[in-house]
Structures are given as structure tokens and as C-alpha cells.
Chain A
Amino acid sequence: MATEVLPRLKGKRHRLERPELLAPAGNLEKLKYAVHYGADAVYIGGQKYGLRSNADNFTFDEMREGVEFAARYGAKVFVATNIYAHNEDIEGLEDYLRELEAAGIAAIIAADPLIVETAMRVSPKLEVHLSTQQSTLNWQAVQFWKNEGLPRVVLGRETSLEQIAEIKANVDIEIEAFIHGAMCSSFSGRCVLSNHFTDRDSNRGGCCQSCRWKYDLHVPEQGAVDEEDLFTMGSKDLCMIEHMPALIESGVDSFKIEGRMKSLHYVATVVNAYRQAIDTYFENPDSYELNPAWVEEINKAANRPLNTGFFFDTPGAEDHIYEAEDKAAPYDFAGVVMDYDPATGWATIQQRNHFKPGQEIEFFGPEGFFKQIVGELTDDQGEPLNAARHPLQLVRLRTEHPVRPMDMMRKRINK
């Protein structure tokens, strides 16, 4: 992780407006949890035109339900339509966009001018946000998209905080930036490794993470540089939790978390940490201090080593993953709270992973967290159990502190 701290950007000490916290949601359940844990907006994929062709994407009905749920929290739903379309994708686009508009979607995230332009014409209530897939890095390009009528640009992940501040100083437009999660190590949209290796089109969602495969670097006449310690194009994951004041003061309007393929536990944990950091900053910017618990929380969900991307400097040797990727998160998602009876102190839990009496578990929710040992365990009829074995099974146990529906339970992985 970069150790350097950016000097406070000149003239911009505090900002008054809270940036939006934008979270990924791979399905309806994740959407609900992301919003419940504090996301101001979520982005999802529909059945077409998105770059995660194998995520369990939303139907229009699910979108409507998601929009309704989010509205109760004052949150918005965006849909990623971020492919680079081919000729044959043009047909059907207009209907698709009208359906999104009718479902109450607030914005689409688009890269291809075809989609940008079509949306403006056929679905005027949908905002169009320019996707990071356009790799927009300079303020004149941002100005171009503003002139086209776009209210927001998601910058390329290669922009530094200083460059972002300069873009904000030159163009009056919303800027969205990725602040957490996995990253393409290439410029977005500028990698067709998967096309060449497997005939899968990465710019239409077919990427098979070829950048993380095994490569030898060869020097002519000399052979491979090192056959054990391989070359890599794989990057560590982005994490800006330790640099929130710099990020907030650079003027970024929307803080985006990557991960439509990530678990419910991951989304809730990461959103929760950033929500608390942002709120703490705005309570009193002068007394803001990093709470080590936020970093710990994020590490409980992270499945790769973390770094700060391009925000402070161009990534170097320490920002790439050379060794086999074995850093699995030290905690596993174990269950979600469905109900709690304050009279008895017993909670009803929906099982998401095997757990049993005697095991150390943690409960957490938007209000905080605590650890305890699993004591007596029963099924939902009160019959004693020696383990919660079945996915989605309803079980009951006594919690040491009150819990609320949608709180989560995780267990430490015993290595």
C-alpha cells in the first residue's frame, strides 16, 4: 500500500456536500443489503448490454422491486449498460432502455456512444453516466461529454487525485471514481486478451481474467527470466478507506465500489465501513480520524491484497500480485438475522454457511458489531441441533446483544 500521503489540495479544505456512496449489487438480495448498509445508490446489471454476462442479472420485475426498496431509503438504482456494442446489438436497444426508464431506474452507465445517444433520444428520464470503459482521463474530454448532455463521467482508473481535482476545477460536472475493489490492470476497454485466448469478447462481458493467468517473460537468446517467480499483469485490489479526507476533498462526487460478482457479506461489510468513514468525516472534518476498525472490517471481506491504485502514484512492483493468490478472507459469511425476540434474547438466523455450537461468531449491522460463542442451537421449531448444516435453513440461537433483521453473522475460518 502506498505510504505517501497527499498534501491537502490547495484551497479545498472541506466540502459541504456529501459524496454519494455507490455500491454494486449482483442480485436483488444484494441490492437490499447494500442499501440497508448505507449505499446512497446501487448499480446493477440487466439481462442485456452489461459487462458481467455471467452475474445473475436482474429481470425488469426485479428491477422494479429493487427501485421500490431503494426508494424507501432514499437511494437510487443505476443499470450498467457498459458494453461496446456490435452491429447486431443495436436492435432491441431502444425497447430495453424504455423498459429501464419505466422500471424507475435513475441512470444508466454507458460507454458506447451508440447507447449514450439512443438513451438520450428514447428514454429522457434516464440519466446517462459515461462509463469508466471510455478511459476518460482529461478535463477536455470530460467537457466534451458534458456538452453532449451527460451529467456524470466515471473517470478512468488511471487518474490521480490531483488530476481529478483539476478536472473538477475546469468542468462543472459530477465525477464518479472507483474507490474499492478489483481492477483491470489495463486501461479499461483496452484489453482483448480473452478474445485472443478463448474467443470470448471482453468488451461485451466475456473477459475470463486472462491477465491473472500464468506468464513467463522471455528475453531473446536467454529464455525465461524466472520460471518460478512468474511475470504478472494481475493487480492488487483498490482500497481507499485509509485516505477518505483526501478523496472527499478532491471533489469526487460519487465513490464507487466494484464487485457485482462479490458475495452479500462482502458488499455489506465494505459498504458499512465506507458509510461510517464518510459520515464520521462530515460530522466534523477537523477531528476526523481513521478508525482502525474500518480497516479491520474491510480485511475481513477482502480476498486479495489491497493498494491505492493510481490515486497517489503510478503503481509499482509492490502493487502487483506475483505469488499465487492465496489470501482468502479470514472470515466466512455464516448467516443473516431474520428475526429477534427481545423478551427471550433469541434470534432467528437464516444459515448461509455451516456453523455449530462452540464456534466463535461475529454479528454486525449498520449499528455496530460484537463477537460471541455459539451456544445452544435449535431449528425453527425449537428442536436442538448440533450444527446448522443446510443452506438457507432457519435456526435459532441466543445472542448476547440485541440484533435486528438484516444484521449479518460471520464466522472465523479455522485454518
Chain B
Amino acid sequence: MSKRTELLCTAASLDELERLIAAGADAFVIGETRYGMRLAGEFSEAQIAAAVAMAKPRGVRIYVSINNLIENERLPELPGYIDTLAAAGVDAIVFGDPAVLMTVRASHPELGLHWNAEMTSTNYATANFWGRRGATRFVVARELNMDQIVEMKQHTELQVEVQVHGMTNIYHSKRYLLQSYADHNRTTKPADLPPGQLVTGKDQGLFLMEAERPEERFPIFEDSNGTHVMSSDDICMLENLHELLEAGIDSLKIDGFMKSTIYNETVVRAYRQAIDAYYADPAGYQFDEAALEPIQALQDPDRELSFGFFYKEQVY
């Protein structure tokens, strides 16, 4: 049989990383906000080295995210950061900006390069373009459907990564929209928001509600990369995982962003079992409904588990 599909996870800390390895993760994306976007937690260079030391002996791979939208000011420190990561023994760099691609190619061609431009990685010809420039994997936009994903895999030599669980980003601005709103509010109605009261980080639980959609809550937060709005539902493809496995997708990602370790552990375990059951007998594989129950038990009741865009047709 060809290479097995990888179960890729995020980790908020070394502790979570260790627990998710035990739960069955094959690989991790980690990093720090200075270079990477919307990470589950912050890993300093030393912590990345510790993560590699923890993962390597167990055959687990570590990828580091440098997929920020990069401005001139950040360029000078990129080569040094990449040197450090290479020395630590990471397996791949996740990038969106060509500046990162060029830097890695010039100094560390041995590193894997995962192209993740989020919403804009939408067709196989573009994936192959980045492949010819040195990318080894591409991360499919979350807004594609199953047919498009399967077709992509058939038309590229690159590894294909698909997010199968968790929330997704739906809006990213460089503007500090929460801070702006607080400032605006303070000048018009000082009573609403005494100074300093609106704390805007990702752990604050702030969310938006759109007037016509009272059922949905869209998490919103700010960090040094600007303002991020997240989906109101969590993708959960456990039920139909075999479709992706049959298509030969190389990596299935569980994004544990904004989730507790216990939740992530439960999710990783469920996907691990499904993948293992599939490989034990691909022809006879049947999804076990009961596998969803532990996830449902921990699922935030305000957040629906959905198939994302996997079975949708979009118009434009």
C-alpha cells in the first residue's frame, strides 16, 4: 500500500503536544504569532526545539508556520529564524509569502515547504506552479468542495493537505477593528465601555452576531497580525473520512485553535481510530456512528458540527 495518510494537528503547548502524540497525531503545525497566523499557542525557538526532541523519537513530524502576510520590516530576521528552525530539526515550513519560499530555497533546500495561502489555494494548476518553485505540499482552501479536492489530488504530484476538523478563518484585516470600536464607543458613550475594559485577545471569548443570523456566533479577536473573524461552525468530517482516504489525500488536519486540550485529545483519538480502522480493511470499512459521541459530548452547544464546504455548491 502507498504511504498512509497523515493525521496532522496543532498544539497550544508542549504539554498538549505530548498528549496529542499519545492520542495518535502523526504531525504538528506550531510556531509563534510573530511569524505565523492563528496558531493554537506560542512556541518560542527553544520550545520548537523541545517539540522536535519530543516528536522525532516517536516518528512524529514538526512543521513550523511562517505564513504571515510579511512586511518589509520583518524580512531581515527571516533567514536567521529559518536557520534556527533547520538546526532544531523541523521537517517543514508552512508559507504563504514568496519571500519565505525564496529564503528557504536559498539556505535550506532540504526542508519541506507547505504552501498555505488559506483562502486562495483554489486550483491544481496554481498548486503545481508553487510546486515547480519548490513547494512540497499544498494546503487546500477550506472553501472548496469534495469533488474539487479529489480532482486536485489527481492533477498534482504535491502532497495535499485538507482540514477535516475545527474552525476556520473567514476574515482577516490588518486593522485593529475591536480597538477601533472600543475607541469609538468610548468617545460616543463613555458609560458603555470604561477605558481598558475591552480585552481583545483570542482567549477572551468575544464574538460577533450578524443581525439576520441570531443562531450563529462568530469568534473575533486581535493579535499583532490584525483582526481575525472565525467561522461559527466547526468542520467535522469524521463521518465521511473514508472519502478523503480513498482519494489518497496525504494529510488530514485537525485544527485545535481555540479548543481545550481535552477536546482536542478526544477529536484526535476519534480520527486516529477511524483512519486505523480504514487501513485495517479499506474495502470493508464502515463508519461507526458511536465514534462521534465523545466529540459531541464536548462540543460547544453554540457551535454546530458541519461538513463545511465539502458538499456545497457556491455561486458567484
Q: Are B70 and A138 in contact (CB under 8 A)?
A: yes
Instruction: Give the residues in chain A near B23, CB-CB below 8 Å.
Output: none
Expressed in whole angstroms, the Cα–Cα distance for A268 and B255 within the complex equals 49
B171 at the binding interface (Cβ < 8 Å): yes
Expressed in whole angstroms, the Cα–Cα distance for A218 and B204 within the complex equals 11
- Given A114-B123, A114-B129, A225-B185: 16 more A-B contacts, CB < 8 Å: A84-B122, A87-B155, A89-B123, A117-B129, A118-B125, A138-B72, A138-B75, A187-B172, A191-B171, A195-B309, A197-B210, A199-B315, A213-B212, A229-B185, A314-B176, A322-B184
A206 at the binding interface (Cβ < 8 Å): yes
Q: Are B180 and A112 in contact (CB under 8 A)?
A: no
Instruction: Give the residues in chain A near B187, CB-CB below 8 Å.
Output: 317
B223 at the binding interface (Cβ < 8 Å): no
Closest residue on chain A to residue B168 by CB atoms:
A192
Q: Are A141 and B173 in contact (CB under 8 A)?
A: no
Which residues in A have some Cβ–Cβ distance to B below 8 Å?
Answer: 53, 84-90, 111-114, 116-118, 133-135, 137-141, 143-145, 156, 158-159, 163, 166-167, 185-187, 189-193, 195-197, 199-206, 210-211, 213-220, 224-226, 229, 231-233, 235, 310, 314-317, 319-320, 322
Q: Are B231 and A317 in contact (CB under 8 A)?
A: no
Q: Tell me how far the C-beta of B282 lies from the nearest C-beta in chain A, rounded to whole angstroms.
A: 26
A145-B98 contact in complex given A139-B72, A225-B185, C-beta closer than 8 Å: yes
A218-B207 contact in complex given A111-B120, A320-B177, C-beta closer than 8 Å: yes
Q: Tell me how far the C-beta of A135 lies from the nearest C-beta in chain B, rounded to whole angstroms.
A: 5
Q: Are B70 and A225 in contact (CB under 8 A)?
A: no
A138-B181 contact in complex given A187-B172, A190-B119, C-beta closer than 8 Å: no
The interface bits of chain B over 192-229 (1 if a CB of A lies within 8 angstroms of the residue's CB, else 0) are 11000010000011111111110001001000001001
Expressed in whole angstroms, the Cα–Cα distance for A163 and B170 within the complex equals 27
Instruction: Give the residues in chain A near B129, CB-CB below 8 Å.
Output: 113-114, 116-117
Instruction: Give the residues in chain A near B124, CB-CB below 8 Å.
Output: 87
Chain A to chain B contacts (Cβ below 8 Å), 9 pairs: A84-B122, A112-B123, A137-B72, A138-B71, A219-B205, A310-B174, A314-B174, A314-B176, A317-B179
B18 at the binding interface (Cβ < 8 Å): no
Expressed in whole angstroms, the Cα–Cα distance for A350 and B2 within the complex equals 71
Q: Tell me how far the C-beta of A399 lies from the nearest C-beta in chain B, rounded to whole angstroms.
A: 45
Q: Are A203 and B122 in contact (CB under 8 A)?
A: yes
B178 at the binding interface (Cβ < 8 Å): yes
Closest residue on chain B to residue A186 by CB atoms:
B173
Q: Tell me how far the C-beta of A232 lies from the nearest C-beta in chain B, rounded to whole angstroms.
A: 7
Choose among A145, A215, A235 the residue with the greatest number of B CB atoms under 10 Å from its CB.
Answer: A215
A144-B206 contact in complex given A86-B122, A90-B125, A138-B71, C-beta closer than 8 Å: no
Total B residues in contact with A, Cβ cutoff 8 Å:
74
Q: Are B193 and A225 in contact (CB under 8 A)?
A: yes
Expressed in whole angstroms, the Cα–Cα distance for A329 and B205 within the complex equals 40
Q: Tell me how far the C-beta of B72 lies from the nearest C-beta in chain A, rounded to whole angstroms.
A: 5
A195-B210 contact in complex given A137-B69, A203-B120, C-beta closer than 8 Å: no
The interface bits of chain B over 118-161 (1 if a CB of A lies within 8 angstroms of the residue's CB, else 0) are 11101111100110000000000111100010011001000000
Expressed in whole angstroms, the Cα–Cα distance for A217 and B182 within the complex equals 10
Expressed in whole angstroms, the Cα–Cα distance for A68 and B40 within the complex equals 55
Expressed in whole angstroms, the Cα–Cα distance for A187 and B229 within the complex equals 12
B189 at the binding interface (Cβ < 8 Å): yes
Instruction: Give the residues in chain A near B206, CB-CB below 8 Å.
Output: 217-220
Q: Are A114 and B119 in contact (CB under 8 A)?
A: no
Q: Are A190 and B98 in contact (CB under 8 A)?
A: no
B101 at the binding interface (Cβ < 8 Å): yes
Expressed in whole angstroms, the Cα–Cα distance for A116 and B132 within the complex equals 14
Q: Tell me how far the C-beta of A203 lies from the nearest C-beta in chain B, rounded to whole angstroms.
A: 6
A215-B119 contact in complex given A185-B177, A193-B229, C-beta closer than 8 Å: no
Expressed in whole angstroms, the Cα–Cα distance for A143 and B102 within the complex equals 10
Q: Tell me how far the C-beta of B166 lies from the nearest C-beta in chain A, rounded to whole angstroms.
A: 15
Instruction: Give the residues in chain A near B232, CB-CB below 8 Å.
Output: 196
Q: Are A156 and B229 in contact (CB under 8 A)?
A: no
B3 at the binding interface (Cβ < 8 Å): no
Q: Are B174 and A187 in contact (CB under 8 A)?
A: yes
A225-B75 contact in complex given A90-B123, A199-B314, A217-B181, C-beta closer than 8 Å: no
Q: Are B209 and A218 in contact (CB under 8 A)?
A: yes
B97 at the binding interface (Cβ < 8 Å): yes
Q: Are B122 and A192 in contact (CB under 8 A)?
A: no
B175 at the binding interface (Cβ < 8 Å): yes
Instruction: Give the residues in chain B near A204, CB-CB below 8 Å.
Output: 314, 316
Q: Tell me how far the C-beta of A133 lies from the nearest C-beta in chain B, rounded to whole angstroms.
A: 8
Q: Are A185 and B175 in contact (CB under 8 A)?
A: yes
Q: Are A197 and B213 in contact (CB under 8 A)?
A: yes
Which of A88, A89, A141, A158 sits near B97, CB closer than 8 Å? A141
Expressed in whole angstroms, the Cα–Cα distance for A213 and B210 within the complex equals 7
